[in-house]
Amino acid sequence: MNQLHFIDYVIILLVLGVTLYLGFRFSGRQRTTENFFLSKGNFPSWALGLSLLSTLISSVTFLGYPAQGFTSNWILLVQGLMVPVVLLGTIWFIVPLYRRVIGLSTYEYFERRFGVLARYYSSSSFILRQFAGMGTVLFLIAVAIRELTGIDAYIILIVVSAILVVINLKGGIQAVIWLDVFQGFMLFASGVICLGILLFSIKGGVPEAWRVASEGGRTGFGPYSTDLTQLTLFVMVVNGAFYAIQKYGTDQTVVQRYLTARTDKSAIRASLMGITLTIPIWTMFMFIGTALYVFYQQQGMPEGMKAEAAFPHFMMTQLPTGVVGFIVAALISAAICSLSADLNSMAAVGVEDYYKKIKRNRPDGEYLKAGKIMVVAAGAVSALIGALYVRAGNEGVLGVVFTLYAIFSGGIVGIFLLGFLSSRANRQGVNIGIIVCILFTAYAVLTSTPVGVHEKKVLLDLGPYNFTHHKLMLGVYSHLIVIVVGYVASLFFPKPVLDPALLYSRHRKKNVEER
């Protein structure tokens, strides 16, 4: 494989220089926890929209989607396609809810509605999902740059992790959001360039690409059955509907963006912009993988090349000098920006949901210091998880990400929907629902996940009673269990006395009055 040219390295260093500049640009303003985590009112709607876009696409989109399109059809794109279907009808109520009832942590709402167990359960699930996702992003970036440059993957992990931690410590949420804007433009431009060169390189152009891809099973969203044991369109549609609510309705990384906006309308406009832009970008990168499959069908694929390496290999061997540097810079920037947002949101949850509970009524400076320490710790743990992925040589990363997300979702959407939609659901009933959900998740994982070095087998083999449905349905079932069990159990306890601001009915009425 060709190595990067001197010009490519210059471009990469220039982009990293801009990234670090933006991080240090706001370093003098991070004197309070409010500035470090929110900086409320300092961002226009379009910047917040691009920040949401960049947070959602990241390096998983850049490398995971092409790898998926290279090895299979577009079925995993369905999860993203469900986002606008669900959110266009609900974002009008979700945004005002959080802006009116919480200070910083999304999970403050869960405590106000259902008590401390709901708060700690939902926040810990968020932290587990974030670590799994951040480790995956670092793994992808390390593998890609190793393929492009030959640099050891572990060195890449250390360098990238150090850069994103420094940016976050110096610039806080202001640096994170403006970096997201910068990275959003770069990622979109790099995708357009790569797809254009790919299609130009395929003999016969788009018609031939579509024919070869269709014959190779790289188009469509099938299988189209309702078999819950397989990855089918039905499974992805159901999972995607819950994913949309979970990401935009209960995820700290996204909700934090709502809180930084000047007004409710600004936050809603930003959300709609982010939702609108993510779909074409996800689709573009999935199609890049499809086009890669066609290209290597025509040209011949290097022996032993993994799916995650196909896109980096194409960039190194087919793109001109300078363009390669721009693409690599966009890839690194995508990782740094998305991970910076993740680190900031994890530190916000750590301070608000845990540190402040343990050490009450301390000076704000102490909380700010604790948040920065959490940024460093979270960055180090994520790098270690990425290193474990590198050591394991994980394949099919996009599928792994979705599976982990399903497992660690833990019924959070169920808690949120019960709290938001039902005035009858109460703390006791939801606590019972959470306990049943935990037991079910443990059963499903232990009876369906083979582990071992030489001979893999499930930890708990119940024979015909093992959990056999697809892992993505695990997240769906956990939400449904909390909803059904939580509501039914609530009927055995007194109806709660609630602040109307915690319920959907209050926000619906307010929206009607404003119109």
State mean pLDDT over 360-366: 92
Q: Count Cβ atoms within 10 A of the Cβ of residue 380 and give its class: 0-12 exposed, 13-18 middle, 19 or more buried.
A: middle
- Closest by CA position to 485, among listed 448, 420, 422, 435: 435
* pTM, to two decimals: 0.89
CB 308 within 8 A of CB 143: yes
- The three-class DSSP label of residue 174 is helix
Q: Are 163 and 393 in contact (CB under 8 A)?
A: no
The 10s digit of each residue's pLDDT in 70-98 is 999 999 899 888 988 888 888 999 999 99
**Sorting pLDDT into bands at 50, 70 and 90, what band is 406?**
low
**pLDDT at residue 218, rounded to an integer:** 92
- pLDDT more than 90, % of the chain: 47
Residue 501 corresponds to which amino acid? A
pLDDT of amino acid 300: 86
3-state SS class at 450 = strand
Query: By the 8 A CB rule, do 52 and 195 touch?
Result: no
> Mean pLDDT, to the nearest integer, of 429-453?
86
Backbone angles phi, psi at 493, to 5 degrees: -125, 160
Q: Which residue reads 């960055």 in tokens?
A: 379
pLDDT of residue 395: 47
**Cα 338 from Cα 352, distance rounded (Å):** 21
Residue pLDDT, tens place only, 372-402 = 999 999 999 989 888 888 877 654 454 555 4
Q: What's the whole-number mean pLDDT along residues 186-205?
A: 90
List, for residues 115-152, the tens digit of each pLDDT value: 999 999 999 889 888 888 888 888 878 877 887 778 88
Please give the mean pLDDT across all residues of the chain: 87
The larger pLDDT score, comparing residue 493 to residue 474, is at: 493
Instruction: Give 498: exposed, middle or buried? Use CB within 10 Å, 0-12, 13-18, 19+.
Output: middle
The DSSP letter of residue 463 is G
- H helix and E strand count, the chain: 22, 2
Q: Which residue has the higher pLDDT, 501 or 308?
A: 501
CB atoms within 10 A of CB 219: 18
Question: 300 vs 3, which has greater pLDDT?
Answer: 300
Mean pLDDT of 436-460: 81
Phi, psi of 411 (to 5 degrees): 75, 15
Which amino acid, residue 415?
Answer: I
Do residues 359 and 140 lie in contact, with contact meaning Cβ atoms separated by under 8 Å? no
What average pLDDT does this structure show over 296-315?
82
| CA 401 to centroid of chain Cα atoms | 9
CB 488 within 8 A of CB 480: no
Q: What is the pLDDT of residue 423?
A: 94
pLDDT of 156 higher than 70: yes
Bridge partners (DSSP) of residue 451 are: 457
The CA distance from 312 to 73, in Å, is 20
Task: List the one residue out of 334, 356, 5, 402 whose CA is nearest residue 183.
Answer: 334
Outline where DSSP puts E strands in 320-451: 450-451
Q: Where are the alpha helices (DSSP H) in 202-263?
A: 205-215, 233-250, 252-260
The pLDDT of residue 233: 95
